[in-house]
Structure formats: C-alpha cells, structure tokens
Structure 1
Amino acid sequence: MLITPLAQDRIKSLGITVTTGEEAKSLRQNKKPDFSIIALGCDHTGFKVKQMIIKYLKEIGCTVNDTGTYNEEPANYPEFASKVARLVQKGEADVGILIDATGIPSAITANKYKGIRAATCYNEFSVRSAREHNDANILVVGAVTLGEGTIKGLVELFLNVEFLAGRHKTRLEIIEKIESEQFCNS
C-alpha cells in the first residue's frame, strides 16, 4: 500500500491511525467489545445491512436485540428508531445501532428520547468523535450512502472507542440540563 505524504498529513489531521501487516491483523481479531447487549433496528432500506451487522455482532460474542424490520417490505423508520431508543434509554441494551437510507431520519427520531445521544456517522473520524467527545449511545448509518465494508468498520470502531470524559463530561452535563428543562419525564 502506498500512501502519499499529502495523504499522510490528511490522515494525521483527522486523527486516523493507519496500521498494516501483523499489527492490523491483531487489531481485527474479532475482540468482544465492552458493550455486550446491542439493540438493532432498521427500515426496509437497511434490512440487508442489518443482517450483516447481526452476523458480525454474534461472531464477536454480543447479544443482539433485533427490533426489526424483518424483511424488505416498506417500513416506517420512526417505529424501529423508537424501539431501539427505548431499549437503550431503559438500560435494556448497552448501545444501539440504527440503519436507514441516510442515517438522518432515524437519528432525529432517536434523539427525541431523553438520555439518547444518537449520532449519524459516515467515517471513522465521525464515529471516534461521537464516542470520545459525545458518549454517543446509538450509532446511526445510511445503508444507501455507505458500503457494507465501511459500515462494518464503523460498527467495530463504535463498539471499541471509549468516552474520554474530562472537558467533554462538562459538555454532556450541559446537554443533560437542557434535556431536564425541555423534555417531559418519560
């Protein structure tokens, strides 16, 4: 693999780590993440991708709570986004993953629930930022906008990146204060 100096600079500025050879192989050994119960939901556009994610999660030893949809018939994303958000909100799932065409509408829906921090992610930088800085508890991806290989990599990263706390914890406390002022008890 050849990475030009310009590409190396861009990679570094985005906070992406590139590994090759044995180091990369050892990182990809299907290590079980800290999260063991994953709530998963999708609309019809995300069904095939959801099946791939379920297979991957089971391979690494996670328990999957599949909230649907269960086929490619037209389905309403708010129903599945709500199911996943409720499971995470109640502590019945450690984190959630939602899949629709773009990742945007399911994130909007899930974020209507107090305590939910659903992040639509489209690359490694957005996943890392969502977890490290925002302690995102639901990953949302677009089945039409991203390839399956990319999505699998984003899921793997989401499950293995930890919240940094520090100054980011203060920011989350501000968000929680806004939630307590703006949301009704649910």
Structure 2
Amino acid sequence: MSAKTIAIACDHGGIEMKELLVKDLAALGWSVLDLGTDGPDSVDYPDFAVKLAEALKGGKAERGVLLCGTGIGISIAANRFEHVRAALVHDAFGARMCRQHNDANVLVMGGRTTGPEVARDCLKIFIETEFEGGRHARRVSKLSGDGQA
C-alpha cells in the first residue's frame, strides 16, 4: 500500500461530489482508489460502504471518503466494521475534531446536503489534521473493541 492512498466511494446521491473530490485528492498528492459508483443510476449505499471497509482492512488504503445523499445511511453502514471510524461531518470544525479527537479514518459527507466548497474544505482539513492522542487514545481504543466501554 502506498502511504498516501485514500479510497473513495459513493452511491448515486454522491456522484457529483465524488468527481469533485477525486480531483482535489490528486492535487493534494494522494493516490485515489475509486470504488464507485460511476453514474447516476440508483444503487445501494451499503454495498459501497462494504467495498471501502474491505479496502481499509486489506491495506489498499489508509483512509477513506464516503458519500451518499445525506451521508447518514452510508456512515451507519460503514461503522458496522470494527476497523472503521467513519465520521459524518457538515463543516470544517467537525472535520477537524473527527481527526484530532476521534482518529476518524473515514470522512463522510452528504452529496445533497453539503455544498461543494464546504466539502472541499472539510476534505482538506481531514487530510491535513493529525490525531492528538493522549486522553483521546484511551477513548478511541474503546471504539474499536480494544478497551472497555
């Protein structure tokens, strides 16, 4: 795996945003693993959350981006996997906090609820923000089943 590979996937509700963000990721120096969908035809968002979770587990990518109409359904589907910490964000503050405090490895946004400039800003912040560790590490370990909740 490249140290700078990010997987991205969406359903039909996120296709336009995905196309925009793929360009931004490339400009930021990331190798993009595009897991679909590739058109406007209706598809099931859980299938794309599974593809992304498998890519993370298999070491094909170190982080991910998921998109659906609102981001809600695909984030629920992604968080079913123990190794995924998918954070649905709506603004720059959420994008920063999901990395600093939660060590989120998947950014989730709504293609129909998040404007393109906000989405681009959230992506950049998600990519550039490091996990703070410290007291947050104990809490994050509880999320992945490594600690007691």
Q: What are the residue-to-residue correspondences of 1:9-158 with 2, within 5 Å? A: 36-158=4-126
Give 1:149 shift. 0.7
Equivalent residue pairs, number: 147
Give the whole-Å Cα distance in 2 for the aligned partners of 1:43 and 1:83. Answer: 12
Q: Which moved more, 1:125-134 or 1:84-93?
A: 84-93
Give the Cα separation in 2 of the matches to 1:99 and 1:180.
31
Tell me, in whole angstroms, the C-alpha distance in 2 between the residues paired with 1:149 and 1:169: 31
Return the letter of the residue paired with 2:83: G
Distance (Å, rounded) in 1 between the aligned partners of 2:122 and 2:148:
31
Structure 1 segments of 4+ aligned residues over 4 angstroms from their partners = 178-181
Provide the rounded CA distance (Å) in 2 between the counterparts of 1:109 and 1:180.
23
Q: Which of 1 and 2 has higher RCO (CA within 8 Å, sep 6+)? A: 2
Distance 1:80 1:179, change over 3 A: farther
Superposition deviation, residue 90 in structure 1: 2.5
Distance 2:148 2:40 in 1: 38
Name stretches of at least 5 consecutive residues in structure 1 with no aligned partner: 1-34, 182-186
Distance 2:142 2:77 in 1: 21
Q: Which whole-Å CA distance do the structure 2 matches of 1:155 and 1:56 have between them?
A: 8
Contact 1:100 1:141 in 2 (8 A): yes
Name which of structure 1's ranges 162-171 and 54-63 shifts more when overlaid on structure 2: 54-63
**Bigger radius of gyration:** 1
Letter matched to residue 52 of structure 2: V
Distance 2:144 2:25 in 1: 30
Shift of residue 174, structure 1, vs aligned partner = 2.1
- RMSD over aligned CA atoms reads 1.7
Deviations 1:68-98 (A, max 9, x none): 0010111110111110111112221010000
- Report which stretch shifted further, 153-162 or 167-176: 167-176
Q: In the aligned structure 1, how far is the partner of 2:23 from the partner of 2:147?
A: 35
TM-score, normalization by structure 2: 0.93
Identity of counterpart residues, as a percentage?
36
**2:138 and 2:147 in contact (8 A); partners too:** no
* 1:137, distance to aligned residue in structure 2 (A): 0.3
TM-score (norm: length of structure 1): 0.75
